[in-house]
């Protein structure tokens, strides 16, 4: 069963990479552009234009991004819950690694076996943290490619900006970076152990998003703002860090209270 799951995951990974590589559509993509991926991207653009009530491409981008995110919500729920369970087990995994500190093959196998047993005992499937993300990637990338390469999505104005030009006020890049930071910070706050990688992602991703949004059209920046804002709300609903911390502290307190009750019972028994 595990081998079968690995094969499925590897197949999906290969498909995602293939779509990414073949999905580098050229600017000026139209209904006549050859290639299955190009046609998928173009039809995403058609849906965005159709959703743009009153001819507003910006409204179409907002609605399509929200619609896509809502459709992906169940998959994100699975992914976040799985990653959350894995984070909660990190202290026990580190204890296993400390138990077998050797670099030899036998030590590594023991670490792997006990880690797999720990996951199994706690109902954690290590692949479920990645699988939903792999399923989502082609859809999100198709949306990004549509915004980047279909010309009619570069036309029109919305609020203070031109959809096809850079945002001169930098408001959209700043908002995209802030929502990215908020999403990463919420995940960091909920983590029982904060690693250098988590800190690096929390700081690095917003910086990357800001400079990318600064250089690209306002339409793409708008997509990042809406998508990342949705991600923040989604995290607060599915994996609210304050609720997770409160639950974790309550669990620890329950153990402490149990030990205190046991100590009092032993003390009373000794007096008798």
**At residue 6, does pLDDT exceed 50?**
no
Let me know: does 77 contact 136? Beta carbons within 8 Å.
no
pLDDT per position as a tens digit, 50-69 = 888 777 888 888 888 888 88
Q: Cα–Cα distance between 272 and 270 in angstroms, integer?
A: 5
Distance CA 238, CA 229 (A): 14
Please compute the mean of the pLDDT values over residues 256-266 and round it to a whole number.
77
pLDDT band at 127 (very low <50, low <70, confident <90, very high): low
Residue 119 CA neighbour count, 13 Å, CB half: 17
First to last CA, the chain: 57
The alpha carbon dihedral of 107, 108, 114, 118 has a sign of positive
**pLDDT tens figures, 201-231:** 788 888 888 988 888 888 888 888 998 899 8
Contact 118, 93 (CB under 8 A): yes
Residue with tokens 């600017």: 27
Distance (Å, rounded) from C-alpha 16 to C-alpha 18? 5
Q: 162: closest CA among 217, 223, 210?
A: 217
**Which residues sit opposite 157 in a β-bridge?**
162
pLDDT at 252 over 80: no
161 DSSP β-pair partners: 158
Listed residue (261, 254, 9, 262) closest to 130, CA to CA: 9
Q: Which residue has the tokens 């779509």?
A: 19
Q: 158: helix, coil or strand?
A: strand
């Amino acid at each position: 069963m595990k081998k079968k799951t690995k094969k499925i995951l590897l197949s999906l990974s290969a498909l995602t990479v293939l779509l990414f590589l073949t999905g580098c559509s050229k600017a000026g993509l139209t209904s006549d552009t050859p290639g299955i991926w190009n046609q998928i991207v173009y039809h995403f653009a058609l849906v965005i234009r159709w959703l743009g009530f009153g001819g507003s491409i910006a409204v179409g981008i907002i609605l399509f991004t929200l619609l896509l995110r809502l459709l992906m919500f169940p998959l994100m729920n699975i992914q976040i819950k799985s990653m959350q369970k894995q984070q909660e087990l990190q202290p026990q995994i580190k204890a296993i690694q400390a138990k077998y500190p050797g670099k030899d093959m036998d030590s590594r196998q023991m670490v792997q076996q006990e880690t797999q047993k720990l996951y199994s005992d706690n109902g954690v499937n290590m692949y479920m943290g990645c699988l939903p993300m792999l399923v989502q990637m082609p859809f999100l990338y198709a949306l990004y490619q549509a915004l980047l390469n279909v010309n009619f999505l570069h036309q029109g104005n919305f609020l203070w900006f031109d959809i096809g030009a850079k945002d001169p006020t930098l408001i959209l890049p700043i908002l995209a970076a802030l929502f990215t930071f908020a999403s990463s910070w919420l995940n960091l706050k909920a983590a029982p152990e904060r690693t250098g990688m988590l800190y690096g992602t929390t700081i690095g991703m917003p910086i990357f998003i800001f400079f990318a949004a600064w250089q690209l059209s306002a339409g793409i920046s708008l997509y990042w703002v809406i998508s990342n804002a949705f991600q923040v709300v989604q995290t607060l609903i599915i994996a609210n860090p304050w609720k997770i911390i409160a639950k974790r502290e309550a669990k620890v307190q329950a153990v402490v209270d149990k030990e205190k009750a046991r100590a009092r019972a032993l003390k009373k028994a000794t007096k008798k």
